[in-house]
Amino acid sequence: MAHHGGDRNADRDEHERGLALELCLRRRACPMSSDSQYRPSPCCPACKKKGYCSDHAVDAAQHICRRGKPKKFPSIDRIEKNGVRTWMFRTDGAPIDGGRAEVPSAPDALASVQTRHETYSAMIDALGADPLVAADRQSLLARGLSEGDIKAARYFTMQGDDASRAALVARMTTALGHAPPIGVPGFYLLGSDPTVHVVGYGGQGIPVFNTLNQIVGVRVRIAIEDGGKKYVWLSRPSKEGVVGAACEASVHVPPHDDAASTVEVRITEGEYKAHIATVRTSC
């Protein structure tokens, strides 16, 4: 539906508005759909950007900005089901119809598989074309994995220092168009400060895949003081005031060829072992 200028066709607009309303009412009746009365914004009145933010399908003054707290309009903060923080606002000064926003879902609710996959993928992408430091690459090659295997499994090096982690979140925010959702384990807020943080483990990152090749979680192999290694999941830190999601137990399905035989399924302990076994036997 055209919103700005141009020679609009009033009949057609009327017809489309009718369709939008019908769709809106139909979707409202479905308890499974969330924010269904909203549709992608052609141009968000708050951040002035296209897409990603939402406009109400019927009420032209009501909007949701997903990029930041609107400066020009009063807004209601909300955390969507997928853990993304958004701001609901009105351009006409009337009270904001919070709708579902009055009962935000728990901010620490675990994000959907799709959101986790997108966020972890963006995190690894944000580390650049070569996300591994030389020592980590060497250790993987020494395990018998090829460069191709390493790339397919999306292994990466996680930097533990504060500056690198803040820079990583900043690059992800630019790439995603919003801050990493705190429903994705490993990303969190401290108190009411809107800055998103990523947990501070330095070590070798191991993406954990499901059967659809989606990254559902991340394990990190970290060096410990006695010279050994331990494995931790990216999850909510146990610091006071942390708002973020805890990870769930996941089964890792190493990168695989969908045409491979599934007659035999091997269950092992440890992501590396599983990947190496898959590479060696191609099943």
Q: Which residues bind Zn ion (CB under 5 A)?
A: 44, 46-47, 53, 65, 67
CB nearer to Zn ion: pick between 40 and 270: 40
CB of 34 to Zn ion, least distance (A): 18
Gap between the Cα atoms of 76 and 207, Å rounded: 35
Gap between the Cα atoms of 201 and 224, Å rounded: 11
CB nearer to Zn ion: pick between 67 and 117: 67
Helix extents (H) in the chain? 10-28, 113-125, 134-142, 147-152, 162-176, 271-281
Any bridge partners for residue 220, and if so which? 205, 232
CB of 63 to Zn ion, least distance (A): 7
Report the candidate in 169, 184, 166 with the shortest Cα–Cα distance to residue 84: 184
CB nearer to Zn ion: pick between 59 and 125: 59
CB of 104 to Zn ion, least distance (A): 19
Gap between the Cα atoms of 73 and 135, Å rounded: 50
CB nearer to Zn ion: pick between 49 and 171: 49
CB nearer to Zn ion: pick between 75 and 159: 75
CB of 44 to Zn ion, least distance (A): 3
- Contact call for residues 63 and 54 (beta carbons, < 8 A): yes
CB nearer to Zn ion: pick between 64 and 123: 64
CB nearer to Zn ion: pick between 174 and 261: 174
CB of 37 to Zn ion, least distance (A): 17
CB of 46 to Zn ion, least distance (A): 5
Contact residues for 196 (Cβ-Cβ < 8 A; gap 6+): 169, 173, 179, 180, 182, 187, 188, 189
CB of 52 to Zn ion, least distance (A): 7
DSSP structural state of residue 71: S
Gap between the Cα atoms of 136 and 117, Å rounded: 23
Contact residues for 271 (Cβ-Cβ < 8 A; gap 6+): 206, 208, 219, 252, 254
| 14, 80, 105 from 83: Cα distances, Å | 36, 5, 9
